[in-house]
A and B are shown apart, each in its own frame.
Chain A
Amino acid sequence: MQREVGSLPLAPALRAKLVAAGFQTAQELLETGPCGLSKELGISKEEALEALQVVRQECPGDVARTAGGSGITRKCTALELLEEEQAQGSIITFCSALDSILGGGVQLTKITEICGAPGVGKTQLCMQLAVDVQIPECFGGVAGEAVFIDTEGSFMVDRVVDIATACVQHCQLIAEAHQEEDHLKALETFSLESILSHIYYFRCRDYIELLAQVYLLPDFLSEHSKVRLVVVDGIAFPFRHDFEDLSLRTRLLNGLAQQLIIIAHDHKSAVVLTNQMTTRIGQNQSTLVPALVSWLPRCAASSCHSKCRRY
């Protein structure tokens, strides 16, 4: 357990004290114990105890390691990952052209970004997805729930009611055509009320609320483990106005991106983001590009709608 002191997640001031006192590895810290540590560094016993707890968490004991368990739970071979991916479903959008370019639908455990000019249908698509994620498995869906985080205030409940009613009717037609027992059983629970009650809606008015909501989301998701879709409608909107410190904005966005990736991966849900378009004025012409371009690297798929190519 030769983990270096500099690489442990402790407060910088504490770390500086540790290095100045000559501690190099985590093993030395654990050997010294809290009393010795508080004496050497001149910190209180509680602080020393807290620090040692953090160290113990980061470096699981050798026993755990040799038993095959590892602190990192996200390790596997590519073959196991392949089997997992093949067994995973995707959320259909009810538009076959869109489904085919996305490779079957919106992928779970990945982030998908939808960008487009105003009015092209991004929020509509998100509302459709929030309903589609709830389709029971026997009809080809993932039977999950949805979280909808709205920053622009464009979520219209009456439109969702229309979409949900149409979806239920569609499933009823399929059930009538096939007449299978599990179809009919699933239809009993798949109704307008259940669809609406499984869409969890959050309204965030500025970037602080958005950041807080996303960072608190893992707790919410561990209570509602059936959530398979997280929609953030308007990821760029709160960040585009009133931001004087651009480097802070980049840092916050990158932190947000990593948090969303963690959510997508750990809870096996799809994360869908909508983004606005902005104009990049080049030498001879101007092009429409998604806003906050540095955001793009986090997304597995990014589909762009322009006004003339509507699906």
Chain B
Amino acid sequence: MVVLRAGLCPGLTEEMIQLLRANGIRTVVDFVSSDLEEVAQKCSLSYKALVAVRRVLLAQFSAFPTNGADLYEELKSSTAILPTGSPSLDQLLDSGLYTGEVTELMGAPGSGKTQVCLGIAASVSLGLKQHVLFLDSTGGFTASRLYQILRARAEDGEEQLEALQRIQVVRVFNIYEMLSALQELRDRLSQQVVSSMGPLKIVVIDSVSAVIYPLLGGKHSEGLAIMMQLARELKTLAKEFSLAVVVTNQVTRESSTGPLKPALGRSWSFVPSTRVLLESKEATWEKATTQRVASLAKSSRQPTGIQVELDIGNGDVQELSPATLTQGL
């Protein structure tokens, strides 16, 4: 709903705008959807000028359809699949993280979401030599742990340091800071400013629920509105700039014994195209274990319910369990 302003297109002068406004036409939508003959009569403006302005406005503001074949060609040339650093997780995600999509990792506290995110950042930075943007909202990003993962995967000290330099970390502790950081990223990418940030292919956000939870619930729907703003920002970033976006989310239960379900409700469930649930193998306090089970909860490419085992320690995973089909979430 863009407001009509002088200079929006050639031929739209300030007096035209005043006349139009006096007759209740304030935005582009009002203008384009009104009967131009009537408007020409009421505002005593030339019909030809109005038609010309309308043509320019339509060209500027409407979306253009493409056909399926063109779309497919574009997709083939612009989509990349990024490895997560863990072969079994790659297998779960149909060979890795797809750019242009939002992938969600969800799990209970301590299930390994931040560890998997660190692993992904390390793998993209070290293996593909691409830059990574890591938005940390929980304070859980530990550079020494990242360094440990890099040391386990690469021998050369130089390479490790370079990989560390390619990962940019931004700490955002509330929703407005997060939106501001994403907006800044969008501005930078669209202006193609040559800065220390090289080619960016992936944005990792840990975690999305930490900044949205304090706003949800209660009588006001403001929290939902902000959440949807964030959703739109993430999807636009992913699609327009061919980035892979990885977010982490918590899980809740209906009652104390019910099954786990992702937090942030039904509205958020439409945002990520792929959802992976992380769980500990044996939920006890006693045994220290680095084994986790990842199951596919939502995917547009694979059948849901596939489970794989993951080791979030230093070893890249192995242990492969043949995909077992269990009840999907």
Contact = CB atoms under 8 A, between A and B. Distances in A.
Tell me whether A and B are bound partners: yes
Interface of A: 1-4, 6-9, 12, 19, 21-24, 28, 58-59, 65, 70-72, 74-79, 81-82, 84-86, 109-111, 247-248, 250-251, 254-255, 257-258, 261-262, 264-265, 280, 282, 293-294, 296-298, 300, 304
Contacts of A12: 220, 222, 225
A72 B170 contact: yes
A86 B144 contact: yes
Given A7-B229, A70-B184, A258 B211 contact: yes
A248 B180 contact: no
Given A72-B180, A77-B168, A82-B143, A261 B138 contact: yes
Interface string B132-158: 001001111111101100000000000
B164 A254 contact: no
27 contacts: A7-B179, A8-B176, A28-B3, A59-B180, A72-B170, A72-B172, A74-B171, A77-B165, A77-B168, A78-B164, A78-B167, A79-B161, A82-B144, A82-B164, A109-B139, A248-B218, A250-B213, A251-B216, A261-B173, A282-B257, A294-B252, A297-B138, A297-B210, A298-B139, A298-B210, A300-B139, A304-B285
A7 B180 CA distance: 8
B269 interface: no
B164 A250 contact: no
Contacts of B217: 247-248, 250-251
Given A6-B229, A72-B184, A258 B173 contact: yes
A265 B139 contact: yes
Contact of A23 (B3, B177, B256): B3
**Residue of B27, B171, B172, B229 with most chain A CB atoms under a 10 A cut-off:** B171
A258 B218 CA distance: 19
B180 A4 contact: no
B55 to A, nearest CB: 21
B214 A258 contact: yes
A250 B253 CA distance: 13
Nearest to B28: A22
A56 to B, nearest CB: 13
B109 interface: yes
B226 interface: yes
A3 B170 contact: no
Contacts of B27: 22
Contact of A2 (B167, B173, B183): B183
Nearest to A280: B256
A296 B141 contact: no
A272 B154 CA distance: 36
Contacts of A254: 210, 213-214
B26 A247 contact: no
B180 to A, nearest CB: 6
A77 B173 CA distance: 18
A1 B188 CA distance: 10
A78 B211 contact: no
**Residue of A28, A84, A294 with most chain B CB atoms under a 10 A cut-off:** A294
Contacts of B147: 82
A295 to B, nearest CB: 9
Given A9-B176, A77-B168, A77-B169, A296 B109 contact: yes
A86 B145 CA distance: 11
**Residue of B143, B144, B170, B179 with most chain A CB atoms under a 10 A cut-off:** B143
A297 B109 contact: yes
Nearest to A246: B217
A265 B168 contact: no
Given A7-B226, A28-B3, A247-B218, A79 B140 contact: no
Given A74-B170, A254-B213, A110 B187 contact: no
B290 interface: no
Contacts of A257: 210
B1 interface: yes
B143 A22 contact: no
Contacts of B240: none
A81 B143 contact: yes
B138 A79 contact: no
A85 B167 CA distance: 16
Interface string B12-51: 0000000000000011000000000000000000000000
